[in-house]
Amino acid sequence: MAGRAAQACRLSAVLVTGGEGYIGRATCEALTRAGFEPVSIDLKGQPAFRASAWDYAARAEIVRTTTPIGAIHLAAHSDAAESVRDPDTLVGDPKRACEVLGWSPAYSLDEMIVSAWSALHGSR
Protein backbone atom coordinates (compact mmCIF):
# COMPACT_ATOMS: atom_id res chain seq x y z
CA MET A 1 0.00 0.00 0.00
CA ALA A 2 2.87 2.39 0.75
CA GLY A 3 4.04 2.04 -2.84
CA ARG A 4 0.64 3.14 -4.16
CA ALA A 5 0.50 6.07 -1.76
CA ALA A 6 3.97 7.21 -2.83
CA GLN A 7 3.00 6.88 -6.48
CA ALA A 8 -0.21 8.87 -5.92
CA CYS A 9 1.77 11.68 -4.26
CA ARG A 10 4.38 11.78 -7.03
CA LEU A 11 4.54 15.08 -8.88
CA SER A 12 3.61 15.10 -12.54
CA ALA A 13 6.79 15.42 -14.60
CA VAL A 14 7.05 17.86 -17.51
CA LEU A 15 9.95 17.58 -19.96
CA VAL A 16 11.65 20.94 -20.63
CA THR A 17 14.23 21.03 -23.43
CA GLY A 18 16.53 24.03 -23.11
CA GLY A 19 15.73 24.09 -19.41
CA GLU A 20 19.00 25.82 -18.52
CA GLY A 21 18.48 28.87 -20.72
CA TYR A 22 16.96 32.11 -19.45
CA ILE A 23 13.40 31.24 -20.46
CA GLY A 24 13.92 27.56 -19.65
CA ARG A 25 14.98 28.26 -16.06
CA ALA A 26 12.02 30.61 -15.55
CA THR A 27 9.72 27.95 -17.02
CA CYS A 28 11.13 25.26 -14.69
CA GLU A 29 10.66 27.56 -11.68
CA ALA A 30 7.07 28.29 -12.71
CA LEU A 31 6.35 24.58 -13.16
CA THR A 32 7.74 23.87 -9.69
CA ARG A 33 5.57 26.60 -8.14
CA ALA A 34 2.54 25.12 -9.95
CA GLY A 35 3.21 21.69 -8.42
CA PHE A 36 4.91 19.96 -11.36
CA GLU A 37 8.31 18.31 -11.53
CA PRO A 38 10.32 19.90 -14.35
CA VAL A 39 12.67 17.48 -16.12
CA SER A 40 15.30 19.68 -17.76
CA ILE A 41 17.28 18.54 -20.80
CA ASP A 42 20.14 20.76 -21.93
CA LEU A 43 23.74 20.67 -23.08
CA LYS A 44 24.93 23.32 -20.62
CA GLY A 45 24.43 24.37 -17.02
CA GLN A 46 23.14 21.90 -14.44
CA PRO A 47 20.15 20.21 -16.10
CA ALA A 48 18.49 17.10 -14.72
CA PHE A 49 19.81 15.39 -17.88
CA ARG A 50 22.76 16.57 -19.99
CA ALA A 51 21.72 15.66 -23.54
CA SER A 52 20.74 17.15 -26.86
CA ALA A 53 17.03 17.52 -27.54
CA TRP A 54 17.80 15.90 -30.91
CA ASP A 55 19.45 12.77 -29.44
CA TYR A 56 16.65 10.25 -29.97
CA ALA A 57 18.13 7.48 -27.79
CA ALA A 58 18.85 9.82 -24.87
CA ARG A 59 15.43 11.47 -25.12
CA ALA A 60 13.64 8.11 -25.27
CA GLU A 61 15.51 6.90 -22.16
CA ILE A 62 14.71 10.14 -20.28
CA VAL A 63 11.02 9.81 -21.17
CA ARG A 64 11.04 6.13 -20.18
CA THR A 65 12.54 6.84 -16.75
CA THR A 66 10.61 10.03 -15.92
CA THR A 67 7.22 9.35 -17.59
CA PRO A 68 6.34 13.02 -18.24
CA ILE A 69 2.74 14.09 -18.83
CA GLY A 70 3.83 16.80 -21.25
CA ALA A 71 6.75 18.64 -22.79
CA ILE A 72 7.85 22.22 -23.35
CA HIS A 73 10.41 22.55 -26.13
CA LEU A 74 12.60 25.65 -25.71
CA ALA A 75 15.96 24.32 -26.93
CA ALA A 76 17.64 26.58 -29.48
CA HIS A 77 20.91 28.35 -30.09
CA SER A 78 21.21 31.54 -28.06
CA ASP A 79 23.86 32.76 -30.48
CA ALA A 80 22.20 34.27 -33.56
CA ALA A 81 25.34 33.70 -35.64
CA GLU A 82 25.22 29.96 -34.84
CA SER A 83 21.56 29.86 -35.83
CA VAL A 84 22.40 31.44 -39.18
CA ARG A 85 25.31 29.02 -39.78
CA ASP A 86 23.28 25.93 -38.89
CA PRO A 87 19.53 26.65 -39.22
CA ASP A 88 18.66 22.93 -39.27
CA THR A 89 19.32 22.78 -35.52
CA LEU A 90 16.46 25.14 -34.79
CA VAL A 91 12.89 24.06 -34.24
CA GLY A 92 11.87 26.65 -36.83
CA ASP A 93 13.17 24.30 -39.52
CA PRO A 94 10.07 22.42 -40.79
CA LYS A 95 11.57 18.94 -40.41
CA ARG A 96 12.63 19.73 -36.82
CA ALA A 97 9.20 21.16 -36.00
CA CYS A 98 7.54 17.99 -37.30
CA GLU A 99 9.93 15.85 -35.26
CA VAL A 100 9.19 17.79 -32.07
CA LEU A 101 5.43 17.69 -32.61
CA GLY A 102 5.76 13.95 -33.20
CA TRP A 103 6.97 13.52 -29.62
CA SER A 104 3.41 13.89 -28.31
CA PRO A 105 1.97 10.69 -29.84
CA ALA A 106 5.29 8.83 -29.69
CA TYR A 107 5.64 9.38 -25.94
CA SER A 108 1.91 9.53 -25.05
CA LEU A 109 2.22 13.11 -23.81
CA ASP A 110 -0.97 14.89 -22.79
CA GLU A 111 0.27 18.37 -23.70
CA MET A 112 3.01 19.85 -25.87
CA ILE A 113 4.32 23.42 -26.22
CA VAL A 114 6.87 24.21 -28.94
CA SER A 115 8.59 27.57 -28.93
CA ALA A 116 11.04 28.99 -31.44
CA TRP A 117 12.13 32.52 -32.20
CA SER A 118 9.82 33.76 -29.42
CA ALA A 119 6.72 32.48 -31.20
CA LEU A 120 4.58 29.50 -30.26
CA HIS A 121 4.36 26.96 -33.07
CA GLY A 122 2.12 24.23 -31.77
CA SER A 123 0.37 22.38 -29.02
CA ARG A 124 -0.17 18.68 -28.76
The answer on pLDDT for 41 being more than 50 is: yes
User: Which superfamily does 2-123 belong to?
Assistant: NAD(P)-binding Rossmann-like Domain (3.40.50.720)
Closest CA to 101 of 44, 92, 28, 13: 92
What pTM was estimated for this model as a whole? 0.74
Residue 120 pLDDT: 42
pLDDT band at 27 (very low <50, low <70, confident <90, very high): very high
Q: In what order do the strands lie in the sheet with 119-123?
A: 49-50, 36-42, 12-17, 70-73, 111-116, 119-123
Residue 84 pLDDT: 64
What are the two backbone dihedrals, phi and then psi, of residue 93, each rounded to the nearest 5 degrees?
Answer: -70, 130
Domain boundaries in the chain? 2-123
